[in-house]
Structure 1
């Protein structure tokens, strides 16, 4: 018998959505960094 605070999953861990994002980090992080650098450079040139 399980307690009310304990899930009734036997041998299964809950699904972690962060684990779905981790494989995309090496692609997304440099792309977002490049876009941010471009936008900051564009703002700096526009303000000068």
Structure 2
């Protein structure tokens, strides 16, 4: 029975790196947009 349990553990392991990297295509452009907006706001405020 322990052999079945170890096989299930190998199948259902949660990789934190995979959990993070699947959100990168959404988060990276949003972070870039916020950065550009803040830089433009600072430029207008100082002008």
TM-score by length of 1: 0.63
Match of 2:24 in 1: 25
RMSD: 1.7
Match of 1:36 in 2: 35
Unaligned runs of 5+ in 1: 1-9
Structure with greater helix percent: 2
Moved over 6 A (4+): none
Unaligned runs of 5+ in 2: 1-5
CA distance in 2, matches of 1:44, 1:16: 42
- RCO comparison, higher one (Cα < 8 Å, 6+): 1
TM-score by length of 2: 0.64
